[in-house]
């Protein structure tokens, strides 16, 4: 396993060793916004057809976020319809950092989180704060336990 510190608050983990550059994890630790002090691990699987096809990205950290569903699927436009071969892995990483700073309720995967953000931004912030403190919560009939960060 090879781990490399990147920009402030980010780490790259080549979990299969430096020979496998197509499968890795990026850790994002925001220093601002609602998810400040959280540590979020994103698993990247880069297809053989890259750069013509985007990497597959999954969030391994359970998070209450409009653009990340409770199974870790990530809704980022450049991972879907806006992908172009000129985009890079770095573009995706920057997009993930931005999502953690500015959740987008207009294109949600977690509709409950998006609805709360739109209808009650204060309630959304309180819910994020509670989950970042390790609170469990039921979403769509299933119980989720969040990692304690604060």
Which residues are the active-site residues? 75
Residue 13 parent element (H or E): strand 10-14
Phi first, then psi, for residue 11 (nearest 5°) are -135, 145
Say which residue the tokens 């890795």 belong to: 24
Residue 105 · residue 114 · CB < 8 Å:
yes
Q: Dihedral sign, CA of 134, 136, 137, 139?
A: positive
């Amino acid at each position: 396993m090879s781990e490399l510190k990147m920009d402030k608050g980010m780490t790259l983990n080549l979990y299969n060793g430096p020979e496998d550059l197509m499968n890795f994890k990026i850790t994002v630790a925001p220093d601002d916004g609602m998810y400040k002090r959280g540590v979020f691990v994103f698993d990247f699987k880069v297809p053989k057809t890259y750069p013509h096809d985007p990497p597959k990205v999954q969030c391994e950290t359970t998070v209450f976020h409009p653009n990340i569903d409770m199974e870790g699927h990530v809704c980022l436009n450049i991972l879907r319809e806006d992908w172009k071969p000129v985009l890079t892995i770095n573009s995706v990483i920057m997009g993930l950092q931005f999502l953690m700073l500015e959740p987008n309720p207009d294109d949600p995967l977690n509709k409950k989180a998006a609805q709360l953000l739109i209808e009650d931004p204060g309630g959304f912030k309180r819910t994020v704060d509670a989950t970042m403190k390790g609170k469990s919560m039921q979403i769509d009939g299933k119980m989720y336990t969040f990692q304690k960060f604060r």
